[in-house]
Structure 1
């Protein structure tokens, strides 16, 4: 209530003359942003939820074309990224977990109204985008798949019956280049088409001292084709097909910190040196590594979708969205971070196929009520395989010191290959609906409900090790089998009936000033660890399961357009509590430093804070923006947490209590400030300059909250200037840009293997030039 009172007070302080209509100078007003957050086209300022948008043209000017860089512009969004498989998004601190094919993301990602079953499906070149929408808090009463933290909705430009063509070439440091081309226009009076192609290359920004290779390279090509069929004003069909291929060495990590080893084991640095490691680097800001193994990554993905819309009598609209997507990922990584032959190769291969069907009916806007109801079906078939090849120095690092003293040269793990395989099938059915009740001309009540039934059937197995040397000491054989011995599960079934709900009030305090309050509840179904067998050989199949995640959220805010629509001020207070928060961590096997990934439920997570967005146009040529968030995201209870390395000692506990600690990957403060200015430079020529600075406070890099993996605060500055030459319908544009202009070394995420911590590095400064030609 206090927050809602701020807006009219601020509005009242604007002089009457400033509030007078300025029809003769409409260019001063901020543009109206149209969104589909409530499954109907409406102004973003009239939607009573916490919502941020980005215009596709603005993304192009900023040079932001990858989903992991969207947090530089969107308040409340964080990205944990290493490669196409290891991507997760968090909203208000909720959802930042490493990859596991047995879990869905807490943040749902949609591309042209199609839910992406794996977050990695969004690791593509975001070209030809119309709009990006970020909705915060539990979603599900209007979106197909239930989520507990929020939704990132990506919408590409649709075909149009007016020609719209462009060609663009960019080049920069490190061999960077990107080429894009779009051709769009009518094929007949009732059919329009659009095709967009893109190719991107970067040599990489990590230097490998061992062989002078450049790592974290990327080579990516993609194409998207669309048809819009509109035989009359009552029906439209949009068909989309896309394909993308990527090769490179994304996913290379750097040693960030090494803590004490568990009692009875060599210090990891000493053990690595005994195994032959030289030149070990723990200086991540230099962006250098020293590894001897392979670093490769390959992704192939594509999809088909059909969205049909019927305008029914009386203003009703029926929508059907049918989609299929496929995603395949493969990688080879040297995971020991040294030039010693310790872990020779870690190979992952993931195959995912999904189909979905959504049907919605939207009522006309009524005097007393309007609504959207729908049904949704989702099927996913996913497999995950991992081959870990141990080098000749694996025993030195992985086995207790006593074993190595008593049984030198026994080759317990040296030279073997261990393979694990998992698969899971998911079927999800849901009915959902949301209604807006217009209680008065100014007061609306929003109610929403969703019922989801989801069934997952999974299997996991570990094959007998290959190339295993014979062992004649029973104790050693038992130790080896506990780490890499054959094991197979039966079918593991997880079934959940998950409700979701929304109750909201909104009140128009004054023209263009809207106050709102929303109480929402959402559930994310349980999962199964299919990335390995974990502790299942000793603890049973149930240890592979993870319980559903349940979120309750309250937000109170306002949206306002002031100063004759030249100033936009939006803000909200939020509080969320998540029970059984799903997380992934690394634990060591018994009598070994060999680690495996485990799924776990954090008892409870709490997120509370304030977020704001301010945009102003002081003159017709100058636009300024400032957005940010204060977010206190912490574990209220987490008594089964993995212990940080600093707790390793002779009496170290098996698990630790992290209650009250900061959530992994969730900074306390985020802020983004930007501006652009354009002016006539010559006849038919206009110049512009733009700048954006994004700052994040420090955050824990790994689930155990270790001081050896605190990701430091950082700020990233992007600069651009350009010239546009217009002649008739043709527009030429030349721009010079500097991404990360201050060359800040920062990290997307951290990870750990017992007492060694690594980070994934973001790109350093990149200076380049872009030439673009738009024509009819």
Structure 2
């Protein structure tokens, strides 16, 4: 029988502490338990108590995700410290840690923060944009993690683990209903197929109407349908060998990515260019949770993959692990021009990505003076994209170009990049005394990238000459970059010293270096003028220092972890915006410094009551960015410079202060177990776009979520019914901002107040 974890002890975002003899792994306890439990993690490629790992990390259990209704990637920042998810839709999404990694929509670039699914590296952040289905736990590791994870990651790692097949029959069904047409259904079943083989099947479907009103036709945008299925087989003939095969498929058809007008930008010499040109084309602007779009707004995503992980334990207690995987991801958008008149009929980029990975690891036995992990990793990625713009009859008026240059013209570009990455790595820990440990790790990665970027000759429109012809050719003319090649060797290293002051308190200090290879712009941008080499960007290199403490106090009733960090990044990779060609492009932004402090606490002050807190102070600034894009208030001035110096400015998307709190109380009422839950998530002001325009500043905001429910036994299982309210005070907030033509800025709105109910049965 599957007995789900009680909310009172399972909703803690931080890692839990436990008595030394506890073997619980992300499981709950009875409501009358008075100690916190152990969480087992594999961040160092072997199973160990998270409180014994000398690194800044946070673990979210499956019950945490359920109870706080964190079922999307963009929800995780409400529970994880120092995390920001810049989300528009599956392609334009990114995960940043400590302010590093805000580089969405970069088809030719891996993220600074790596995302792993069941030990498989995801080459695109959008590969994680699906409902978090049948999850066992999430591990967030902050700081460079290149020495043990499959790809060099300069900001950190989000490691997602799904539930394994079980040899004891179990299952779950749940259904949720909420406002704005929200319906979510999930089901999973697991059990033995023979004495040596177990299977697991999980499926979900989520449907919501959205929460942005399109005044043009009365439709609601921002919603859609997501659905997926995962199947698994676990072969375990004996204690020395096991193999786990996983296959999954996910799809989405939605209007995600609908952008609302955040600001019309600056007024210069009494003229607001955006409003002026909107008036010239006869557009009616909408604000807040309203848009005015005369064309379709939708995206479709199809993705899936399969992996095989095998583990052998030798007679000498060495463990050999092989992880083989293939994944694919297919994204197609249809975007309006944000206006209710035909300036553009469709604009966007579609992408098709395929990847193959193979990892081999050998882990030595634990318990001796020295233990180690060493291995090899191979990654192949084939990325193809298509850049398209179909202009309407008002394009020239809107863009301020000569009549006939863009009107009714269609432009299509193509880009591809093939990546082969090879790495060898090793990490060892010396147990110098019962209290003192020293860890050293090293990794060498060689990557080769072959790419090509082309653009077809424009079609449509009318024949033009003179200035109109020149503008058409500069913006949309045929282009071929020829073969582009990028080769790099990226070393990573780690030195860490930890000391256990007593059984309850451990301190640690670490130095680490991480690198990730360069990237390729897969849209033409300014390459016809600047040359094909301008499509290539260099490596990103990070040096990090950490000082931290982990503690389990007051008879395992309080867990308190804290750390200080300082990171210097050279060649920071980011996105900039080209106002002339109206496209984003990759660039090395110079050097960035990230420094601050983080803390996490889990408290069990009374039987049945659990309080969780985590927060961070994070100062992230460009130390040098001399050729940055200028904000609209500068770029639109007469005689404006081609670039600006953003040295000393804050990095986009990085809030200086973040705080998350959660409290849960559960008690026994005869055969029923009522519970209540409340959470609070605060984010201070953040820069909204790379250019740091005063018209694109994200205000601070706080979200409050509450829920109440009942649990009880039924047959061989347990039922659970809860009433929940997300964004209880209906805070209007933007999750991310983007540059728009003519000096305006648009953004993606967060979810409004939503009331709903969830019923679940575990058996």
The answer to whether 1:270 aligns with 2:276 is yes
- Given the superposition, is the C-alpha separation of residues 24 and 349 from structure 1 closer, same or farther in structure 2, using an over 3 Å criterion? closer
Q: Which residue of 2 aligns with 1:504?
A: 496
1:313 aligns to what SS in structure 2?
coil
Q: Which residue of 1 aligns with 2:291?
A: 289
The answer to whether 1:566 aligns with 2:568 is no
Aligned counterpart for 2:212 among listed residues 202, 206, 212: 206
2:472 aligns to what SS in structure 1?
helix
The answer to whether 1:377 aligns with 2:378 is yes
5 Å matches for 1:151-190? 151-190=157-196
1:672-694 CA-to-partner distances (Å, cap 9, x unmatched) read 011100011232x1111111100
Distance 1:586 1:165 in 2: 49
Aligned counterpart for 2:640 among listed residues 652, 656, 675: 652
5 Å matches for 1:510-549? 510-530=502-522, 532-549=523-540
Shift of 1:611: 0.2
The answer to whether 1:343 aligns with 2:331 is no
2:497 aligns to what SS in structure 1?
strand
User: Is the 1:586–1:753 Cα contact (8 Å) retained in structure 2?
Assistant: no
Shift of 1:393: 1.1
1:396 aligns to what SS in structure 2?
helix
Q: Which residue of 1 aligns with 2:745?
A: 757
1:63 aligns to what SS in structure 2?
coil
Shift of 1:620: 2.4
1:682 aligns to what SS in structure 2?
coil
Aligned counterpart for 2:306 among listed residues 300, 304, 307: 304
Q: Which residue of 2 aligns with 1:440?
A: 433
Aligned counterpart for 2:423 among listed residues 413, 430, 433: 430
The answer to whether 1:195 aligns with 2:201 is yes
User: Is the 2:31–2:668 Cα contact (8 Å) retained in structure 1?
Assistant: no
Distance 1:191 1:579 in 2: 49
Distance 1:554 1:672 in 2: 24
The answer to whether 1:221 aligns with 2:227 is yes
TM-score by length of 2: 0.95
Distance 1:263 1:385 in 2: 39
User: Is the 2:31–2:608 Cα contact (8 Å) retained in structure 1?
Assistant: no
Shift of 1:340: 1.7
Q: Which residue of 2 aligns with 1:82?
A: 88
User: Is the 2:495–2:512 Cα contact (8 Å) retained in structure 1?
Assistant: yes
Distance 2:623 2:374 in 1: 36
Aligned counterpart for 1:98 among listed residues 101, 104, 117: 104
Distance 2:30 2:135 in 1: 32
Q: Which residue of 1 aligns with 2:545?
A: 554
User: Is the 2:94–2:101 Cα contact (8 Å) retained in structure 1?
Assistant: yes
Shift of 1:263: 10
Distance 1:325 1:716 in 2: 35
- Given the superposition, is the C-alpha separation of residues 20 and 381 from structure 1 closer, same or farther in structure 2, using an over 3 Å criterion? closer
Distance 1:252 1:694 in 2: 24
The answer to whether 1:625 aligns with 2:612 is yes
1:395-444 CA-to-partner distances (Å, cap 9, x unmatched) read 112125xx5xxxxxx31101111111101100000001110011111111
Distance 1:391 1:269 in 2: 19
- Given the superposition, is the C-alpha separation of residues 459 and 638 from structure 1 closer, same or farther in structure 2, using an over 3 Å criterion? same
Q: Which residue of 1 aligns with 2:575?
A: 584
1:481 aligns to what SS in structure 2?
helix
2:475 aligns to what SS in structure 1?
helix
Distance 2:515 2:644 in 1: 27
Q: Which residue of 2 aligns with 1:673?
A: 661
1:542-593 CA-to-partner distances (Å, cap 9, x unmatched) read 111111000000010000000001100000000000001001111123xxxx
User: Is the 2:264–2:272 Cα contact (8 Å) retained in structure 1?
Assistant: no
Q: Which residue of 1 aligns with 2:67?
A: 61
User: Is the 1:266–1:397 Cα contact (8 Å) retained in structure 2?
Assistant: no
2:508 aligns to what SS in structure 1?
strand
5 Å matches for 1:84-163? 84-163=90-169
Distance 2:478 2:421 in 1: 32
Stretch of structure 1 that moved more, 567-576 or 506-515: 506-515
Stretch of structure 1 that moved more, 551-560 or 734-743: 734-743
User: Is the 2:31–2:666 Cα contact (8 Å) retained in structure 1?
Assistant: no
Distance 1:20 1:293 in 2: 61
Q: Which residue of 1 aligns with 2:10?
A: none
Shift of 1:262: 9.0
5 Å matches for 1:357-506? 357-399=358-400, 403=402, 410-471=403-464, 473-506=465-498
Q: Which residue of 2 aligns with 1:740?
A: 727
Aligned counterpart for 2:316 among listed residues 314, 317, 322: 314
User: Is the 1:702–1:750 Cα contact (8 Å) retained in structure 2?
Assistant: yes
Distance 2:181 2:578 in 1: 40
1:25-52 CA-to-partner distances (Å, cap 9, x unmatched) read 9821111111001011111100000010
Aligned counterpart for 1:707 among listed residues 683, 694, 714: 694
1:479 aligns to what SS in structure 2?
helix
Shift of 1:343: 1.9
TM-score by length of 1: 0.93
Shift of 1:24: 13
Shift of 1:497: 0.4
1:450-475 CA-to-partner distances (Å, cap 9, x unmatched) read 0000011111011111103101x322
Q: Which residue of 2 aligns with 1:5?
A: none
Distance 2:202 2:33 in 1: 31
- Given the superposition, is the C-alpha separation of residues 261 and 354 from structure 1 closer, same or farther in structure 2, using an over 3 Å criterion? farther
Stretch of structure 1 that moved more, 745-754 or 109-118: 745-754
Distance 2:197 2:173 in 1: 23
Stretch of structure 1 that moved more, 727-736 or 178-187: 727-736
1:502 aligns to what SS in structure 2?
strand
User: Is the 2:600–2:614 Cα contact (8 Å) retained in structure 1?
Assistant: yes
Shift of 1:304: 0.3
1:733-762 CA-to-partner distances (Å, cap 9, x unmatched) read 111111111111111111103511110111
Distance 1:557 1:383 in 2: 43
Q: Which residue of 1 aligns with 2:678?
A: 691
User: Is the 1:261–1:268 Cα contact (8 Å) retained in structure 2?
Assistant: no
